Chain A
């Protein structure tokens, strides 16, 4: 008598449920807190569809999603890339897609990975808790979709598309990095809209229509130095203060920025999120195996897939494309467990609090309270740096040569860790641009500052293109000054509407 849940590679809905129940039990024993799961089985084609909308079940229509779909489809058809085994969405209940082409072991892996690993991360990581509302997102998406459709009916495809294009160009700058955003709620949005429309109706007067049109300005008292503090959320600033945007355009800017905000935590926790999910699918499935609930064949297939997911090619390998977040994240969470269970002398020295403590509590704590940058800074151990054979390259503009600045030795560990951590700061990828001045009393132009970090200036062609979008939304000239460490502008970009 064996108590294998199943043998062979065929899956059925019955088996899916059984696996889910068993994996769920083990997850509970390990203390994983999750949203309820909604697991949807889809075809490969639907998976491609889901790709082009970043997995979101509802998304307003836009040509760029069509472009993404064509790209994905091409790569898939030519065999450049396989499809992801799953997509999981940060919402409550947590929606995960399983592909019908997967084998039974793969489905089990996906359930463990997405429905328990990612799900727990979404529910408990502080960034997700503070910056996204898993309960409200689906409703909000529906609201956004309806609103965009409605605008298309009223104002025409072209006008809506133009606005969306411009807003998308600024989506990276439509997030609050430090201030907590107000929660989204489809109901509240609708009420707000209705109020706004009702106001417009009440104050509608035939007489005023005969007056020459004037740029409508919001009722804000704007003094000399406005804004008093630099504003990092460009889209928010535009939505609030643009002298020319129509109400519906403001609403679209708002939608784009709310969605950007929703995705923002995911961009900051790639390593942690994938690492955590991978760590848990590995742990949970091994628990199944240890309890003799699955057979060797099952485990071999899992391990084959698992090891290719966490493979880190070296820098000179033809498949090298940066550090694999699955590899690094999985290694780090596994390493925390190792340090807790079997600490070495070195570990005791580096992680005195961690060594010998309860690994379940330790991984849980790490998952809840960090993002990639701080996680690496806190937890990357010398052992891992040796395992990965990490080294840092200083590529400085003034030097003729690249310099190997640190390697995995005693002298280098701390610097190496610091360098790697800062690599995951989004400021490293997204230029730091802020609104510093709105010349309302003069030409209504807007002044932006790009704080140049380590001499890295903006790329001109795309920069100018984005500036055009910015000016289109603002309706008046926009000036961008690149400011160096000394506070002196280095270069300018300027765009007229």
Chain B
């Protein structure tokens, strides 16, 4: 008695746990490779899979083995062509000559390194290793699940309001063609037999018979309705839960003359990193670019990073514009709002104090997180005026750091978004 079981639908990731163990074990190696990839890849191109090499000796599993080439070995081979007993053969050069039929060939390829490919997911996981978005738990797949209606094809039943006329007509047309086809065929047969009787006098059938048959067919044809109930098609709509996995990220940057290309580049890297980070956590992430000199404006990415503009510096203008945009477009509570501000710290007069106050009272209560990074000139010890007044902001939704060089971007980023546990 045999029993057949179809297992094809079973999950296929049975060895996923083992793969995860493997990656965990070789994290040190893999991390090194990942770091290298991060430094080589452009940020836009960051999120994809990557090859990792691990030295074979590190992944090998040792067992007691005989030393090859030592001692006396007697072995049998197939396919003798010319050897006779007693023949002497020169020993093959050191090397694999004839491997012990054993487990030597364990490596996939390339002998001394074990190579494998990290999936995009695994790569990104390592990329963001030890990081966690602050306050994420609250809104991520949040308690407040909105229901949203979404199109889901067509159904046969529904309310008149949802009637899809085009679909209904198509179905009706198809039905009519199908039902008429049979009648057409019979009509043809009839026409053929009429012709035959005309040629052949001996047939007894009369014209009346044919007339009657024709009429019957015509009647059947008329019985096919133009539209039937079964033709009706309705647009179907289903309700799907819509977790708040939407985020918007505001990029604020001072583009006055003192922000040179290098500083902008630093800022860009930071923004991109934040963007990547958010895309990992949220289904859709919108980005708003706000640049400011003494006046703020919303621009596209290209203009934001590469267009130059001259003028003074009023930080408050950008913050106010941000609030406007939030009010206008992201006020319905379903958005996770993040903001990152980059500046060289120049601010004059009452602007820094006002900005800090505005930030504390107006913006911070409404957003998830505000990160400020400063790209100061050189390494002068004196803090900028903006840095000094932002320093008075006390909120766990606010962080600020100074960045001097490209290499610092990631550590600073990691520091800003360190796991909550560390903060507490």
Tell whether A69 pairs with B61 under 8 Å between CB atoms, given A39-B5, A74-B108, A315-B78.
no
- Across the two chains, which residue of chain B brings its CB closest to A323? B78
B229 contact set on A, CB distance < 8 A:
none
A397 contact set on B, CB distance < 8 A:
69-72
Interface stretch, picked from A235-243, A289-297, A401-409, is A401-409
Q: Give the residue of A61, A78, A395, A469 whose beta carbon is less than 8 angstroms from that of B72.
A: A395
CB 8 Å contact bits of A257-288 with B (1 = contact, 0 = none): 00000000000000000000000000000000
Q: Give the residue of B2, B23, B59 whose beta carbon is less than 8 angstroms from that of A39.
A: B2
A456 contact set on B, CB distance < 8 A:
66-67, 70-73
Tell whether A455 pairs with B72 under 8 Å between CB atoms, given A41-B5, A49-B15, A465-B62.
yes
| B8 and A404 within 8 A (CB) | no
B72 contact set on A, CB distance < 8 A:
394-397, 454-456
| A423 and B76 within 8 A (CB) | yes
A-B contact pairs, 13 of them (CB 8 A): A37-B2, A52-B15, A66-B23, A389-B78, A390-B78, A395-B73, A395-B74, A406-B85, A409-B85, A411-B85, A454-B71, A455-B70, A462-B64
The yes or no answer to B380 lying at the interface (CB within 8 A) is no
Tell whether A404 pairs with B71 under 8 Å between CB atoms, given A312-B78, A431-B65.
no
| B77 and A315 within 8 A (CB) | yes
Q: Give the residue of B61, B64, B77, B87 whose beta carbon is less than 8 angstroms from that of A431.
A: B64
A419 to B78, CA, bound (A): 13
CB distance from B96 to the nearest CB of A (A): 11
Q: Give the residue of A52, A396, A400, A458 whose beta carbon is less than 8 angstroms from that of B64.
A: A458
A314 to B116, CA, bound (A): 34
| A63 and B22 within 8 A (CB) | yes
Given contacts A61-B17, A404-B89, 16 further A-B contacts (CB under 8 A): A38-B5, A41-B7, A43-B8, A46-B12, A66-B20, A71-B108, A100-B8, A115-B2, A168-B61, A391-B77, A397-B72, A403-B86, A404-B87, A456-B72, A462-B62, A463-B65
A406 contact set on B, CB distance < 8 A:
85
The yes or no answer to A416 lying at the interface (CB within 8 A) is yes
Tell whether A20 pairs with B108 under 8 Å between CB atoms, given A312-B78, A429-B102, A469-B62.
no
Interface size on B, residues (CB 8 A): 65
A71 contact set on B, CB distance < 8 A:
106-108
CB distance from B66 to the nearest CB of A (A): 5
Interface class of chain A by DSSP: mixed
Tell whether A323 pairs with B12 under 8 Å between CB atoms, given A431-B64, A457-B70.
no
Q: Give the residue of A40, A64, A402, A431 whose beta carbon is less than 8 angstroms from that of B88.
A: A402
| B91 and A46 within 8 A (CB) | no
A402 contact set on B, CB distance < 8 A:
88-91
| B21 and A454 within 8 A (CB) | no
A138 contact set on B, CB distance < 8 A:
none
Tell whether A423 pairs with B75 under 8 Å between CB atoms, given A75-B108, A161-B25, A463-B64.
yes
In this complex, the member of B10, B77, B86 whose beta carbon has the largest number of chain A beta carbons within 10 angstroms is: B77
- Across the two chains, which residue of chain A brings its CB closest to B77? A315
B1 contact set on A, CB distance < 8 A:
36-37
| A70 and B7 within 8 A (CB) | no
B101 contact set on A, CB distance < 8 A:
321-323
- Across the two chains, which residue of chain B brings its CB closest to A37? B2
B5 contact set on A, CB distance < 8 A:
38-41
| B74 and A419 within 8 A (CB) | yes
The yes or no answer to A313 lying at the interface (CB within 8 A) is yes
A457 to B77, CA, bound (A): 23
Q: Give the residue of A169, A457, A459 whose beta carbon is less than 8 angstroms from that of B61.
A: A169
A416 to B76, CA, bound (A): 7
The yes or no answer to B209 lying at the interface (CB within 8 A) is no
CB distance from B418 to the nearest CB of A (A): 24
CB 8 Å contact bits of B79-120 with A (1 = contact, 0 = none): 111011111111100000011011000111100001110000
The yes or no answer to A196 lying at the interface (CB within 8 A) is no
A388 contact set on B, CB distance < 8 A:
78-79
The yes or no answer to B24 lying at the interface (CB within 8 A) is yes
- Across the two chains, which residue of chain A brings its CB closest to B102? A429
Q: A residues within 8 Å of B by Cβ? A: 13, 16-17, 20-21, 24, 36-43, 45-46, 48-49, 52-53, 61-67, 69-71, 74-75, 78, 93, 97, 100, 115, 157, 161, 165, 168-169, 171-173, 312-317, 320-323, 388-397, 400-409, 411-412, 416, 419-420, 422-423, 429-431, 433, 450, 452-463, 465-466, 469
A458 to B66, CA, bound (A): 4
Tell whether A172 pairs with B2 under 8 Å between CB atoms, given A66-B18, A70-B116, A394-B74.
no
A172 to B72, CA, bound (A): 23
| A458 and B2 within 8 A (CB) | no
| B18 and A46 within 8 A (CB) | no
- Across the two chains, which residue of chain A brings its CB closest to B84? A407
| A316 and B79 within 8 A (CB) | yes
- Across the two chains, which residue of chain B brings its CB closest to A119? B2
| A62 and B18 within 8 A (CB) | yes
| A457 and B71 within 8 A (CB) | yes
B36 contact set on A, CB distance < 8 A:
none
Q: Give the residue of A45, A169, A407, A422 whose beta carbon is less than 8 angstroms from that of B63.
A: A169
| B85 and A323 within 8 A (CB) | no
| B75 and A393 within 8 A (CB) | yes
| A49 and B62 within 8 A (CB) | no
Tell whether A392 pairs with B64 under 8 Å between CB atoms, given A67-B22, A321-B101, A401-B91.
no
CB distance from B32 to the nearest CB of A (A): 18
A418 to B65, CA, bound (A): 23
CB distance from A166 to the nearest CB of B (A): 10
A321 contact set on B, CB distance < 8 A:
99, 101
A62 to B15, CA, bound (A): 10
B24 contact set on A, CB distance < 8 A:
63, 157
A258 to B311, CA, bound (A): 79
B116 contact set on A, CB distance < 8 A:
70, 74
| A431 and B66 within 8 A (CB) | yes
CB distance from B329 to the nearest CB of A (A): 45
A391 contact set on B, CB distance < 8 A:
76-77, 80, 83
In this complex, the member of A37, A93, A320, A459 whose beta carbon has the largest number of chain B beta carbons within 10 angstroms is: A459
